[in-house]
Chain A
Amino acid sequence: MPSSYKLSYTKTDADLLNTLKSPSKGYWIALFILSIGLLIGAYGWGSQIYYGMGMSGKNNPVGWALYITTFVFWVGIAHSGTLISAILFLFRVRWRAPVYRSAEAVTVFALMVAGLFPLIHLGRPWVFYWMLPIPQMGEMFPNFKSPLVWDLFAVFTYLTVSSTFFILGMMPDVAILRDKFKGWKKKVYGLLALGWRGTDQQWRHYTAAYVFLAALATPLVISVHSIVSWDFAMSVVPGWHDTIFAPYFVAGAIHSGLAMVILLLIPMRKWFALKEYITDHHLASLAKLMIFTAFVVGFAYVIEFFMAWYGGDIYKRDVFLFRAFGTYWWSFWGLFLFNFILPMLFWSHKYRTSTFWLIFVSVGVSIGMWLERFVIIITSLSHEFNPFAWGFHELTITEVYIIIGSFSLFFFLFLVFSKILPVVSNWEVKEVIEPPRKK
């Protein structure tokens, strides 16, 4: 525990309440801009439902494009939260305490946004529930052979577990809020606190349940992204049909998750004056971890190429050559630059402690990871088996609208969350600081 922590129980309580005070002008402006973004997204989706999937830039070979790219991207982002809250919890990393709450929020919100994309990309979104395991249309169940059904289950499981984890983790803190507020707010927080009294018995059960949930959430990081990767790997599409996909996707998800965590922590500690909780040391630790994940994804990129050559399959070989030198060459080299080369800056202490470079690299990695999915999905589909059917995706404004909408929704939810719920876990911070003693 670094000595820089000079906190007291009262101070943490006050800080917690401070974050929930009436928001600043900047907050309202941000919220307003995000609402416009949301409306743009809603308009995009609305028009797509009304006119048809033709509003997006897809075509015959490229049946999946930016929506699925963005879906996988958000699922990847979601892993940041679980990574920090559950895995670091199980490993008893002490500095996790102040940051994990927002990380969990990232998980939940990113999953909510991600969950929209499979609906957005459906040709007939109004019958999406046919994918759910409820008997409809003559007792028909979904096709459990389809990776899309597995995917649905995986994402929903993940959403359920992480939401539970999120809500449960907040209970003691929300109880503080319940106690501090009056009127309707008290009632709402009271509801969320689920009758938390802070008794010993409750604490005992609570901590046990918490470990249990953390242990449950951790394998989900692996399983969810493995299953998402199977959406691709289970197909016959050259460039998708690879056994490396599951670990490759998980590593990628963690990579992008780390970047997103850094991107969220830096403004948060500034806005909420949490410098004492989230120190440069923490960020530097994340940056170091990122070097590691960069190597993992970098290795995956190289090994994919190696296998494409070594495997001797002409279709796969051509897809990889197409990736590197074809129409979308920029996306391929872009992902290499952003995901692998850029994080190498963090070898230097100077870069990993500089806020600017942290943000710069994290934005780069986020873009890079989005590009990675773009490369996987679009270049493979564009250059499949039948050369006569090759074709390219063409960006449309509707897709841009919807992607703007998705980012707006994510940040909108986060912003709203930051003003109504405790962004920092008070009780766990208290755990790591000196308890107040009678003088």
Chain B
Amino acid sequence: MEIKRRDFVKLLGAASVATALPGCTRQQPRNLIPYVIPHEEIQPGKAVWYASVCRECPAGCGVHVRVRDGRAVKVEGNPVHPVSEGKLCSRGHAALQGLYNPDRIQQPRRKRDGRWERIDWDDVQELIADKIKELIDEGRSDSIAFINSHQTGSLDALIEEFLNTVGSTRRINYEPFGYEGVKKASDTVFNVEKIPNYKFSEARYIISFGSDFLETWMSPVKHAREFGQTRELENNRMVPFLHVGPRLSMTATNADEFIKVKPGQEYLLALGMVHTIVHENLTRGIARAQINHIRAVVEDYFPREIENRTGISFEKVEKLARTFAAANPGVAVAGNPSLDGTNNALTVAAVHLLNYVCGNIGRTVLFEQTDHLERVDSYATLNRFVRSMEQGDVSLLFIYDSNPSFTMPEVSGFNAALERVDLKIALSSYFDETSAQADIILPVNSPLESWGDYEPSNGVYGLMQPSMKPVFNTRMAGDILLSLKAKINNGDNDTSFYDYVKERWREHHQRFAPDADFEEFWVGSLANGGRFTDTQTISFQLNTGLAKQALEELKDSDPSTRDGFQLVTYPSLNHYDGRGANRPWLQEVPDPMTQMTWENWVEIHPEDAEQLGVRNGHKIEVRSSYGVIELPAYVYEGIQPGVVAIPVGQGHTEYGRYAENNGANPLQLLSASPTDTTGSIRWSGLEVSVINKREPLRIANVAGSDYQNERPFLQVVSVEELIRNSNREPKKEYPQIYDPHEYPEHRWGMTIDLNKCIGCSACVTACYSENNIPVVGKEDVRRGRELSWIQIQRFFDAREDATNGRFLPMLCQHCTAAPCEPVCPVFAAYHTPEGLNAQVYNRCIGTRYCSNNCPYKVRRFNWWDYDFPSPLNWQLNPDVTVRTKGVMEKCTFCVQRITGARQEARLEGREIRDGDVVPACQQTCPTDAIVFGDLKDPESRVNQLRERNKPRGYRVLHELNTQPAVVYLQDVVEETVDN
């Protein structure tokens, strides 16, 4: 994706404003008008964009923050950033609700006699510095420790520097999902403790061994983007995608074939494939000796043996192996941290071998672009640290942006150990489970208010700049550390974290543009959102010591599942490890597979459910040797019988009004001891018992039906059918009794490629953000009153031969003969000359007839006056009306963006060009499934796409003759084996 010149100028301007900002950050703002004297770049009513980095998960997508009148109102992907390329996920959008969270800690607090009281920044820093000095004087500086979330770049360096100053080495980089298994496997197979990056876009065949790479695994936006490219049809064929795993995750459901196995069996298929490949000499680019070496390593894994152990027929294993080897290159991925405990490292090792023998390493598996998550300390390290906390070895503990109380297994004893620490300082924005137990809370700026840089992987240097002044009396973590450092050295602090970051970028300056002026380089980098480059190749080879035994050692002990269930816990799409749970959008946007909102659940197979007498939504108790939780059951075909799965992220006891009392935290069930093989949390494989509590719960599930009941809403075709249909003409429209509408200039329309839609729901969240859609809360979602203008509808019966769920993004179809329009008694539903079904809020009296008459059911009624608790109201997009109670609303095709584009075109004295109007859903869609444009322009992308994919195009409920402006392209299932 390229950046337009005009955009560049716009960004440049924004960046120069940003550089002017830090001069006044020390002043505490009393209100949110951040500029006393407005900068000339900032015009009221005109948006400015700041490039930054999303820090909602370790992926580190580049973002553009849209700022109106000094307030951040929208986050979008940065088109030049190599990770996001303009796209963003739900969690990225919800960063705004982290910034404006009404439960943010607004100033420093200190606990005295069990009560929280306010304290000045100066006093509190003095207090901490004194304590540190005291410890140093006593020679106990090593009892000062620092736990932080995954950090890279300047802040990482600063933390290191700070600890050096105080004379301690105790630092834990903690991520609950730490990818220990991948590192271990890379070490075993290749002798490098690295996490490779994967290049899906180059692959001709994709196999995922339990990796949910489209939702939470490493860098989901990047993967989804690249995956979208592989779903492009070429001569009616595309890249096949096979998923092997214990549960039908959102990633799995997008596969052309999903092979369900018990957790921990994935490696068998991989090794069986390797076995076939090396025995049939299908390898690519490796020496004979190595083939023999590998042959010896995998000699036990005959496809027949695989069939015995997994039930996958040996012919299938062989065919898969042949097809995959012939793909040249394919990509096989594995290492979902949620499978730690069930042979995860072994699976990754097997997959590394599979990629290696197929010659994929260096082509689709890039060790030269290793992911910096490899720097995260293992859970075992943290666990050891907790033991030393228990011993009283830690007197002063900093915890930054990390919530071990929630993300460590409850029996790990972290909470008890924390009590042994004299002074616990939480650098946190929120009152979460960990900071609630601190003695001092130093509220830190949200990433959107901070300077910084972030390197998700080699060669990607994202640069963060504040998009606005802090909402509250908070400071950047970097500034806090710098001033503490100065206080400890008894000096004055004359550097800000901004200076610190800038100083560090001199290094990059030398690397990227040594000849350019530094200031120019710096401002350019800010506008760009960082500096990105390709990296040099790292040479490495197969571990010569690799032997059968080495693989055996990676095996996790088999859980003794005599009559219990095997537990799988996994990061949830919306909440990840729980950090997203206080963002109301993320609570309300349904989980795409289960369509559940506002809580978590236990996935249980229908057979098991029947045996236990469990019905969907009934309360069940899950009990392990370590704890017990109660959750609603979600009876789910997609899970292996004998396995129950629970998403992580809910069940907060602290963390604000939106996070608390929703569901339960499965970490209460987990064992404290790390896995022997990888040192990670044993997320899966534990034996649990399930008890039916026989109590129906009021679950907030959005799906009215999981099945389409023979209705062709969501059409899926096989490649074979597609070829058979290739001469199909689109269905003709029926005549109308009214005169047809005339569209003098434009007729807006949309083409949605279902083959590309992965269900990630980023469009839904983007729409909430763009269009000021209120969050209604659990009770109203349960009643069916959610207000999402676009919904990712999921059906399990789109095809008879596959039980995969498929997704249908459903939004207002902007029908030409819209049933909603004639029934409105007051013309509130109105057809514009550009083909939009406009809803005139001011005119609406709320008969709801339009909604009854909408066959797509995409209209939303304001049942109440919805609340945006301050300061969440500052996120509201000033270009969009906030609706009051009693009026109907729905998708407008982002009419404000159409108007904006028209104004801009008029100012430049030209017509609107194709691509000028990009609605929020299309803008963020990682797979480019949504394309919007002018149907009157035959050259527009939206028309071209329809033209190119004629046989796949269809309109939902065509027979009603509503003549929608939205055309869907049928989803396609590719064959996973060559015949």
Q: A residues near B, CB below 8 A?
A: 51-54, 57-64, 118, 121-125, 127-128, 130-131, 137, 140, 142-143, 145-149, 152, 231, 234-237, 314-315, 318, 381, 384-392, 394
In the assembled complex, how far is the CB of residue B954 from the closest CB belonging to chain A, in whole angstroms?
15
4 A-B pairs with the lowest CB-CB distances in the bound complex, closest first: A123-B846, A123-B886, A390-B704, A54-B863
**A384 and B849 in contact (CB under 8 A), knowing A54-B864, A147-B823, A148-B825?**
no
Q: What residues on A are CB-neighbors of B785 within 8 Å? A: 54, 59-60
Bound-state CA distance A64–B849 (Å) is 8
In the assembled complex, how far is the CB of residue A102 from the closest CB belonging to chain B, in whole angstroms?
33
Question: A315 contacts B711, CB within 8 Å?
Answer: yes
- The answer to whether B723 has its CB under 8 Å from any CB of chain A is no
Q: What residues on B are CB-neighbors of A314 within 8 Å? A: 710-711
Contact with A along B798-811 (1 / 0, CB 8 A): 00000000001010
Partner of B848, one of A123, A146, A389: A123
- The answer to whether B860 has its CB under 8 Å from any CB of chain A is yes
Question: A388 contacts B852, CB within 8 Å?
Answer: no
- The answer to whether B655 has its CB under 8 Å from any CB of chain A is no
Bound-state CA distance A381–B783 (Å) is 15
Complex A-B: 6 CB contacts under 8 Å = A54-B864, A123-B848, A123-B887, A143-B822, A146-B825, A388-B810
B833-855 with Cβ < 8 A to chain A: 843-849, 851-853, 855
In the assembled complex, how far is the CB of residue B738 from the closest CB belonging to chain A, in whole angstroms?
9
Question: B846 contacts A389, CB within 8 Å?
Answer: no
Partner of B849, one of A124, A137, A148: A148
In the assembled complex, how far is the CB of residue B341 from the closest CB belonging to chain A, in whole angstroms?
35
In the assembled complex, how far is the CB of residue A398 from the closest CB belonging to chain B, in whole angstroms?
12
Q: What residues on B are CB-neighbors of A315 within 8 Å? A: 711
Q: What residues on A are CB-neighbors of B857 within 8 Å? A: 60-61, 384-386, 388-389
- The answer to whether B443 has its CB under 8 Å from any CB of chain A is no
Partner of A143, one of B795, B810, B826: B826
Question: B847 contacts A121, CB within 8 Å?
Answer: yes
- The answer to whether B703 has its CB under 8 Å from any CB of chain A is yes
- The answer to whether B9 has its CB under 8 Å from any CB of chain A is no
Question: B853 contacts A385, CB within 8 Å?
Answer: no
Residue of B nearest to A130 (CB): B826
Q: What residues on B are CB-neighbors of A152 within 8 Å? A: 825
**A384 and B886 in contact (CB under 8 A), knowing A143-B827, A314-B711?**
no
Question: A318 contacts B784, CB within 8 Å?
Answer: no
Question: B865 contacts A52, CB within 8 Å?
Answer: yes
Question: A63 contacts B886, CB within 8 Å?
Answer: no
Bound-state CA distance A121–B704 (Å) is 24
Question: A52 contacts B795, CB within 8 Å?
Answer: no
Question: B795 contacts A388, CB within 8 Å?
Answer: yes
Bound-state CA distance A145–B853 (Å) is 14
Partner of B713, one of A318, A386, A390: A386
**A131 and B825 in contact (CB under 8 A), knowing A60-B860, A123-B846, A391-B704?**
yes
**A385 and B844 in contact (CB under 8 A), knowing A123-B862, A234-B823?**
no
Question: B822 contacts A59, CB within 8 Å?
Answer: no
In the assembled complex, how far is the CB of residue A380 from the closest CB belonging to chain B, in whole angstroms?
9
Q: What residues on A are CB-neighbors of B859 within 8 Å? A: 60
Bound-state CA distance A62–B709 (Å) is 20
Residue of B nearest to A387 (CB): B705
Bound-state CA distance A385–B808 (Å) is 14
Bound-state CA distance A152–B846 (Å) is 15
Q: What residues on B are CB-neighbors of A61 within 8 Å? A: 704, 784, 857
**A124 and B845 in contact (CB under 8 A), knowing A143-B822, A315-B711?**
yes
- The answer to whether B960 has its CB under 8 Å from any CB of chain A is yes
Partner of A385, one of B710, B855, B862, B863: B855
Q: What residues on A are CB-neighbors of B861 within 8 Å? A: 53, 58, 60, 63, 123
Residue of A nearest to B842 (CB): A137
Question: A130 contacts B863, CB within 8 Å?
Answer: no
Bound-state CA distance A381–B703 (Å) is 16
In the assembled complex, how far is the CB of residue B816 from the closest CB belonging to chain A, in whole angstroms?
15
Bound-state CA distance A57–B708 (Å) is 25
Bound-state CA distance A231–B848 (Å) is 12
Partner of A60, one of B707, B708, B819, B851: B851
B61-100 with Cβ < 8 A to chain A: none
Q: Given contacts A122-B846, A234-B823, list 9 more A-B pairs with CB under 8 A.
A: A53-B863, A54-B864, A61-B704, A236-B855, A237-B852, A318-B709, A386-B855, A388-B808, A392-B784
In the assembled complex, how far is the CB of residue B582 from the closest CB belonging to chain A, in whole angstroms?
24
Q: What residues on A are CB-neighbors of B864 within 8 Å? A: 51-52, 54
Bound-state CA distance A386–B962 (Å) is 14
Question: A143 contacts B825, CB within 8 Å?
Answer: yes
Q: What residues on A are CB-neighbors of B862 within 8 Å? A: 52, 123
Question: A53 contacts B795, CB within 8 Å?
Answer: no
- The answer to whether B885 has its CB under 8 Å from any CB of chain A is yes
Bound-state CA distance A390–B705 (Å) is 7
Contact with A along B467-501 (1 / 0, CB 8 A): 00000000000000000000000000000000000
**A143 and B824 in contact (CB under 8 A), knowing A60-B861, A314-B710, A386-B857?**
yes
- The answer to whether B116 has its CB under 8 Å from any CB of chain A is no
Q: What residues on B are CB-neighbors of A389 within 8 Å? A: 704, 856-857
Q: What residues on B are CB-neighbors of A51 within 8 Å? A: 864, 885
Bound-state CA distance A148–B859 (Å) is 18
Question: B826 contacts A235, CB within 8 Å?
Answer: no
Question: B845 contacts A122, CB within 8 Å?
Answer: yes
Question: A385 contacts B856, CB within 8 Å?
Answer: yes
Q: What residues on A are CB-neighbors of B784 within 8 Å? A: 59-62, 391-392
Question: B848 contacts A149, CB within 8 Å?
Answer: no
Q: Which of B711, B848, B864, B888 neighbours the largest number of chain A CB atoms within 10 Å of its CB?
A: B848
Bound-state CA distance A169–B793 (Å) is 60
B865-917 with Cβ < 8 A to chain A: 865, 885-888
Q: What residues on A are CB-neighbors of B849 within 8 Å? A: 63-64, 146, 148, 231, 235
Question: A388 contacts B703, CB within 8 Å?
Answer: yes
- The answer to whether B780 has its CB under 8 Å from any CB of chain A is yes
Residue of A nearest to B827 (CB): A143
- The answer to whether B791 has its CB under 8 Å from any CB of chain A is yes
Q: What residues on A are CB-neighbors of B843 within 8 Å? A: 130, 137, 140
- The answer to whether B612 has its CB under 8 Å from any CB of chain A is no
Question: B795 contacts A385, CB within 8 Å?
Answer: no
**A123 and B845 in contact (CB under 8 A), knowing A52-B862, A60-B785, A143-B826?**
yes
Q: What residues on B are CB-neighbors of A390 within 8 Å? A: 704-705
Question: A235 contacts B823, CB within 8 Å?
Answer: yes
B755-793 with Cβ < 8 A to chain A: 780, 783-786, 791, 793
Question: A142 contacts B713, CB within 8 Å?
Answer: no
Q: What residues on B are CB-neighbors of A148 within 8 Å? A: 823, 825, 847, 849
**A124 and B704 in contact (CB under 8 A), knowing A130-B826, A146-B824, A314-B711?**
no
Bound-state CA distance A142–B957 (Å) is 29
In the assembled complex, how far is the CB of residue A219 from the closest CB belonging to chain B, in whole angstroms?
24
Q: What residues on A are CB-neighbors of B713 within 8 Å? A: 386-388
Bound-state CA distance A51–B886 (Å) is 10
Bound-state CA distance A146–B824 (Å) is 6
Residue of B nearest to A377 (CB): B852
Q: What residues on A are CB-neighbors of B957 within 8 Å? A: 385
Bound-state CA distance A103–B705 (Å) is 47
In the assembled complex, how far is the CB of residue B658 from the closest CB belonging to chain A, in whole angstroms?
20
In the assembled complex, how far is the CB of residue A215 from the closest CB belonging to chain B, in whole angstroms?
30
Contact with A along B307-331 (1 / 0, CB 8 A): 0000000000000000000000000
